[in-house]
Structure 1
Amino acid sequence: MADEDEHMQDDVDIEESDEDPDEDGDEGMMDDAPMQQPEPVEEDGAIARRRAIQAIMRDQSTSDQDKRLQIQALMSGGRTEVAPPPSPVLPENNASCVHYERNCNIVAPCCIRVYGCRICHDELSPAGHAAMNRFLVSQVVCKLCNTTQQTSNQCINCKTIFGEYHCSTCNLWMSQSKKPFHCAKCGFCRVGGADAFRHCDECCMCISIGVYADHQCFKDKYKNNCPVCREDMFSSRQSPQDLPCGHAIHAHCFRKLAGFDYRCPICKKTVVSPQSMAAAWDARARDIAEHPMPADLQRIVDIMCNDCETKSHGLNWHFLGIQCPNCNSFNTVVEQVLSSGADGNTNGANQNQNLGNGSGT
């Protein structure tokens, strides 16, 4: 037993010596052991940044602008150094502008690219790119010497005058042939000569003096989109036109519309004068009298006139239209079917849907 106890004690001593070696032994073991790889600190940092960016993008309470600033601060590591603004991208073969006669191109403040004018920018930019803000333009490029400079009407290098007309508020350069002028109440420049227009404070628009006395005033009437082309009429380069009903439309859009429809696209009132439409209404009435409806297609209906807004009851329906007894207009719509067919049965709403517009258009 004594020998066994001594043997067990020797084993304990050996184990203790292995757990607590001296300095020489420790150095020897470090020399023989393989070197441990350093922790991937940079890789972990990239993963952490990626997760932080994902968290920022998922935050619905933060605006897109704030998200961009937070991501920029995260990627820059908190550095306060601001990179210099990029140089403007100069056009190839000098940007040509078909909209204005001028000796300079503009640097778009949104994309730092050079265009002939703001309209060139909007037309040539890719789909989805926002329209350029003309009031934020701060740099121009001389077409003759390609010198980039602050906005003015004379090149600082070759002394070229950029435009016969220059508005520093709207950043507009153009010739005097279209008689441009700046309206302080509208807030930007218009063409046609200041003496040919008068600003209406109710409509908030410059109106030609030829129609100013007779135009119908509506609050902010022109601060709407054209009902045909959907372009903003207030800032449009195309002239608007007042319809007899008081609504406004582009003059060129009205000419296209008049080729196939005689009604206002908003309120459906006839845009042609009653005197001019009288002959057309009379011809329609003669056609209806000469071609009566067959017995099985006869209807008795109630109508409303889009022109005089009068409701009429118990009129005979015809596929060519139903004439208003009050103003003789055929611009009418069926409101209710009272009876149908030779036996006078009433089919209600279904007949109303099938008949549709009483004018037949």
Structure 2
Amino acid sequence: MQTPHTPLDTSMADDDTPLQNNPQDFGKSLHGCNHYRRRCKIRAPCCNQIFFCRHCHNEATSALTNPKERHEIVRHDVKQVICAICNTEQQVAHVCTNCGVKMGEYFCGICKFYDDDISKEQFHCHDCGICRVGGGAKFFHCQKCGSCYDVTLRDNHACVENSMKNHCPICYEFLFDSIKGATIMNCGHPMHMDCYKEMISQNQYRCPICSKAVCDMSRTWRRLDQEIEATAMPEEYRYEIPILCNDCNNTSKTSFHILGHKCSNCKSYNTRRIGTPNNSLEPQI
């Protein structure tokens, strides 16, 4: 892996416009697409078309009217790039073989990835097999989850095997190589951070995958205790029902109440009714 290059010093012209001292920096940050600033385009090996990046390719092909023609590029299969400065097509390399400019301040020969904006602190994770942003020292690779996480989550998250190699349960975008930030919920399942915030704003506190609470609900449960204590049920509704707790996975019996059913084990109200008042929790012979 080639590491990010340190930006070269610039001098200032009379009109305060930075002047690039090194010819390799010519056109830096002036070319690219909505996804990346880079001085080259890629030729997609799958359809032989030219795009600025794989995201541009995937957006274009996913919009094709014929579903059979829709496809995504495999970044590692890219072999040819076109310099945006001199328009020379060539094999993947950091520096243009014709005009000598760096086609990206950051370059990864494994991912065939270029980017002039190194403030993202790009780094290549060999375990993930792809480049990520945020600075290599700030992340660690969880072998069980199969992805890089913030160092604050080291020994501080619930591991779910290959959890990141799944789709976001809200927007259904594949998480592993998504350019959006992701978060790990208490249950160990991941989703995009923006999707998580939107879910919480809609007062949804359960994981869409396993139904466990994704945040501390103790204050809500205490408030429910008070409301249930202050709201007596009519005589005909005073009976017990069997429930399953989504948080601790234990079954128990509790008094029926229109406001909620409390788990006798962990005291959570994140429960579901699993039978009628006459049902027993014991297996029937």
TM-score over 0.5 (shorter chain): yes
Equivalent residue in structure 2 for 1:309, among 237, 249, 259: 249
Mapped to 1, the partners of 2:226 and 2:60 lie a distance apart of 54
Conserved in 2, the CA contact under 8 Å of 1:299 and 1:337? Answer: no
Mapped to 2, the partners of 1:217 and 1:301 lie a distance apart of 34
SS class of match (1:337): coil
Identical-residue share of aligned pairs (%): 38
Equivalent residue in structure 2 for 1:151, among 77, 92, 97: 92
Q: Would you say how many aligned residue pairs link Structure 1 and Structure 2?
A: 244
**Large movers: runs of 4+ above 3 Å:** 289-300
What letter is aligned with 2:136? A
Question: What TM-score, normalized by structure 2, do the two folds share?
Answer: 0.77
Q: Does 1:216 align with 2:155?
A: no
Query: If each structure's helix is expressed as a fraction of its own residues, which one has the higher value?
Result: 1
Conserved in 1, the CA contact under 8 Å of 2:107 and 2:114? Answer: yes
Change in Cα spacing, 1:217 to 1:296, as seen in structure 2 (3 Å) is closer
Mapped to 2, the partners of 1:95 and 1:111 lie a distance apart of 23
Residues 217-296 of structure 1: pairs in structure 2 closer than 5 A: 217-260=159-202, 261-273=204-216, 277-295=217-235
Larger radius of gyration: 1
Partner of 1:70: none
Question: Could you say what the CA RMSD is over the residues aligned between the two structures, in angstroms?
Answer: 2.4
Partner of 1:139: 80
Mapped to 2, the partners of 1:137 and 1:312 lie a distance apart of 57
Mapped to 1, the partners of 2:93 and 2:187 lie a distance apart of 45
Equivalent residue in structure 1 for 2:259, among 312, 320, 344: 320
More off after superposition, 261-270 vs 219-228 = 219-228
More off after superposition, 98-107 vs 150-159 = 150-159
More off after superposition, 296-305 vs 254-263 = 296-305
Instruction: Tell me by how many angstroms 1:182 deviates.
Output: 1.0
Conserved in 1, the CA contact under 8 Å of 2:31 and 2:37? Answer: no
Instruction: Tell me by how many angstroms 1:250 deviates.
Output: 2.3
SS class of match (1:219): coil
Mapped to 2, the partners of 1:116 and 1:161 lie a distance apart of 15
Mapped to 1, the partners of 2:212 and 2:143 lie a distance apart of 26
Residues 162-201 of structure 1: pairs in structure 2 closer than 5 A: 162-174=103-115, 175-201=117-143
In structure 2, list runs of 5 or more residues that go unmatched.
Answer: 1-29, 281-285
Conserved in 1, the CA contact under 8 Å of 2:31 and 2:38? Answer: no
Relative CO higher for 1 or 2, CA cutoff 8 Å, sep ≥ 6? 2
SS class of match (1:336): coil
Conserved in 1, the CA contact under 8 Å of 2:242 and 2:273? Answer: yes
Instruction: Tell me by how many angstroms 1:212 deviates.
Output: 0.9
Partner of 1:108: 44
Question: What TM-score, normalized by structure 1, do the two folds share?
Answer: 0.62
Mapped to 2, the partners of 1:308 and 1:96 lie a distance apart of 50
Mapped to 2, the partners of 1:119 and 1:338 lie a distance apart of 55
Instruction: Tell me by how many angstroms 1:118 deviates.
Output: 0.2
Partner of 1:207: 149
